[in-house]
Structures are given as structure tokens and as C-alpha cells.
Amino acid sequence: MDPLAHEFLERLNAAVKRKVTVVLIGGNALNILGFKGATADVDIVCRSSEPEVAKFCQEYFRRYGIKVEFFVDGLFSNIRVKDYLQKAYKFDQDEFPNIQLKIFNLYDIALTKINRLLQKDLDDLTRVLESGAITESELDARFKFLLKNTIGDKEHFQQQYQKFKTLFKDLLRQ
């Protein structure tokens, strides 16, 4: 596990008084899934029913100088991933007894990165596609589902997805 994510989870585990759910996303999730090395920040999804997690995230940078990007209830900029908890991979661990840890689904990681398409996202997408871990048909199906739940600029998401498909046409497999 990425050292920054480990440290964050260790401190969160000590701070919360009840079991909470945390979903690692982005580079942290790719690290656990074996697609990426260490990252420069911590990216998570938490639930609105667990406000102590969001509060902890807000204070974390001030206290420790490490950026924690957190999203509540599966809302990422303009994409809402309603079923993120059901689609996330369960991550069995005993080290953090106050945390039910999950890992963002690989297709959802890819689509949130596609929506942004920064250079680091392109690098991450290249590693995932080269591994053969995702298929174009399943990615297309998940994209269509998420597009229906996009609360912001659907046209932007569609344009980004088409740009991605053009850039990566040689790496996409059916």
C-alpha cells in the first residue's frame, strides 16, 4: 500500500470512534491493484452518513501537510457514481479495525481519469490498458451508465471519452 495512504488510514483509524467505510480511488487504488507506484496525495470517497471522515480529511492537510482529496457519496466533479460502494472491491485487512476499506472499481477509476485526462491520467490509463485488465465493451457500457448520472456537463464527459478512444484505439481490446 502506498505509504501516504497507509499513514492516512492509520491516523483515521485512531481518530474515529466507530467503524467507517473508506474507498480508495485514483492513484491510491491503482497502487493497491498493482498498476502504479507511490502517489503524491491521498484520494478517497466517504459517505455523507459518516461526517467525521470528511471532517478528518479537511483537517488532515493543515495538521500533516499531506493533501487529501475526498469525495462524498460518489460525486466526482460532474460525474455521480451512484453504485460506487457496490462496485468497489472489498479489501480485507486487519490493520485498521475501525475502517471498512474498499478499492474503487477499475472501470470507475478509468472513467474518472478519462473525464479529466491530465498527463498523469494518460500515463495511468496506458498502464491499465496495456495490462489487458479492462475491455472496451465493458468500459463503453459503464460509460453509458455513468453518463446518465452525470449532473454537470455531459457534453464534456462525452468529448473526453471520444478523445480517450481516439488516443487509445490501439490499446483497447474488445
Cβ within 8 Å of residue 115, ≥6 positions away: 76, 77, 78, 79, 156, 157, 160
In this structure, the answer to whether residues 38 and 95 fall within a common structural domain is yes
Judge whether 172 lies within some domain: no
In this structure, the answer to whether residues 26 and 87 fall within a common structural domain is yes
In this structure, the answer to whether residues 23 and 64 fall within a common structural domain is yes
Question: What's the mean pLDDT in 128-151?
Answer: 93
In this structure, the answer to whether residues 18 and 99 fall within a common structural domain is yes
Judge whether 85 lies within some domain: yes
User: CA–CA separation, 50 vs 72, rounded Å?
Assistant: 10
Domains in the chain, number: 2
Question: For residue 111, what pLDDT is reported?
Answer: 95
Judge whether 174 lies within some domain: no
Neighbours of 135 (CB within 10 A): 13
Residue ending a domain, among 105, 121, 142, is 105
Question: What's the mean pLDDT in 5-25?
Answer: 95
In this structure, the answer to whether residues 88 and 121 fall within a common structural domain is no
Res. 174: pLDDT tops 70: no
Residue with cell 473525464: 115
Judge whether 156 lies within some domain: yes
In this structure, the answer to whether residues 96 and 131 fall within a common structural domain is no
Question: In the numeric block, which cell numbers belong to residue 80?
Answer: 455521480
Q: Using CA atoms of 55, 56, 59, 63 in order, give the dihedral in degrees to the nearest 10.
A: 170
In this structure, the answer to whether residues 132 and 63 fall within a common structural domain is no
In this structure, the answer to whether residues 85 and 155 fall within a common structural domain is no
Question: For residue 150, what pLDDT is reported?
Answer: 80
In this structure, the answer to whether residues 95 and 113 fall within a common structural domain is no
In this structure, the answer to whether residues 8 and 80 fall within a common structural domain is yes
- pLDDT bucket at 153, cuts 50 / 70 / 90: confident
In this structure, the answer to whether residues 92 and 111 fall within a common structural domain is no
Please give the residue range of the domain that contains residue 53. Answer: 3-105
In 63-110, the DSSP E strands lie at 68-72, 75-76, 79-80, 89-90, 99-103
In this structure, the answer to whether residues 128 and 100 fall within a common structural domain is no
Residue ending a domain, among 59, 78, 105, is 105
Residues 74-132: tens digit of each pLDDT: 887 678 888 999 999 999 999 999 999 999 999 999 999 999 999 999 999 999 999 99
Residues 18-72: tens digit of each pLDDT: 999 999 999 999 999 999 998 888 999 999 999 999 999 999 988 999 889 989 8
Judge whether 128 lies within some domain: yes
Question: For residue 78, what pLDDT is reported?
Answer: 73
